[in-house]
Amino acid sequence: MDTKNFYRLDDGSGKYELWIWKGFDEQFEKVTKGDTKSRKKILTWIERLSHGIPTQPEKAKVLKGNACKGLSGPVMELKPKPYRVSFICLCNKYILVGTIWRKRANSRDSSEIDKACKLMKELVEMFLKEAGTCC
């Protein structure tokens, strides 16, 4: 399957197909600039998503808020400290990675969560349109 706005980032051996929004790369470069150690950790955590969604709350959790409602599944965050990466599982087959941000100390990040959820809604629509039906 080819898409205009996403690329696949898995070798096909996992439970899920892992799709990355092309805009993620620019965000990743900007947010993690100069943090080589964390960059490697983030990429490793993202690649592992193709084999399963972490169940430990310190590694991943469902994002809550009004902007996160109304999708076919919950928007989640991967938590490679001090960063956060938003993703969603579609049709129990695809994992779509959307945004990255740096967690601020003592912050609930509600504005970042709202931005992530709003963008994920757009990305899900875009992905399903480009990929066709997913189920």
pLDDT of residue 124: 93
Asked whether residue 82 is domain-assigned, the answer is yes
Asked whether residue 2 is domain-assigned, the answer is no
23: containing domain: 19-129
Q: State the CATH number of the domain containing residue 24.
A: 3.30.2310.20
Residues 8-53: tens digit of each pLDDT: 999 999 999 999 999 999 999 999 999 999 999 999 999 999 999 9
Asked whether residue 134 is domain-assigned, the answer is no
8 Å CB contact between 21 and 88 = no
Domain count, the chain: 1
pTM to 2 decimals? 0.91
> What does the DSSP assignment read for 41-93?
HHHHHHHHGGG----STTTEEE--SGGG-SSSS-EEEE--TTEEEEEEEETTT
Asked whether residue 99 is domain-assigned, the answer is yes
Compute and round to an integer the Cα radius of gyration of the chain. 14
Asked whether residue 8 is domain-assigned, the answer is no
